[in-house]
Amino acid sequence: MSTTIAETRKSNPLSPVELQQTVHEYIKQTQWATLATVREDGAPVLRTMGSFAPEGVNVFFSTSRKARKVQHIAKNDLVNFFFQHENQKLETFINVSIIGRAEEVTDGSEYQIAIQLLSARNPRFKARLERGELKDIALFLIHTTEIKYLDYAKGAGPAAVQEIIL
């Protein structure tokens, strides 16, 4: 009798290192994600994002300098980035949420890493780079402090969730 993916995941909980590696790979394979920031009045704001790239469990993203999220992050840099693949089956459903501090990256080695990772992942970003159009783009790095990994193959409710504080 063969073992299903769900059975394998249920019987083998992930160590913290395995969880971080799994989260990195999951984020790499995610097409669209949701970034949560907080408005000046304290209300949460959600945005669909396509220009992001993981470095370990930290995540780079790009956005227009004119975007409201840039102003929100300047006032409150604590953000949540939510990753979920489309068309999943319920019994093997997974999503990832990271919480961390967003910091604008303007130069140095982190800037070069952001350019490299975002260009490799996002053709639109790469085209802007090649046309010299990054002056209007802000690059951010989320320094992840918490990871929440939900995997329905492990059960329902709290049994499905693994959390780590970094």
Q: Whose CA is closest to 144, among 48, 4, 28, 23?
A: 23
- Please name the residue that has the structure tokens 């780590």: 164
In this predicted model, what pLDDT tens digit does every residue of 79-122 receive, in sequence order?
999 999 999 999 999 999 999 999 999 999 999 999 999 999 99
How far is C-alpha 47 from the geometric centre of its chain's CA atoms?
A: 12
Per-chain mean pLDDT for the chain: 93
Q: pTM here?
A: 0.91
Residue 151 CB: number of other CB atoms within 10 A?
23
Please, what are the domains in the chain? Answer: 5-165 (2.30.110.10)
1 — pLDDT class (breaks 50, 70, 90): very low
Helix residue ranges, H only, the chain: 5-11, 16-28, 68-75, 108-121, 123-130
In this predicted model, what pLDDT tens digit does every residue of 125-136 receive, in sequence order?
999 999 999 999
CA 27 – CA 19 distance, rounded (Å) = 12
28 — pLDDT class (breaks 50, 70, 90): very high
Residue 11 reports pLDDT greater than 90: no
pLDDT of residue 13: 75
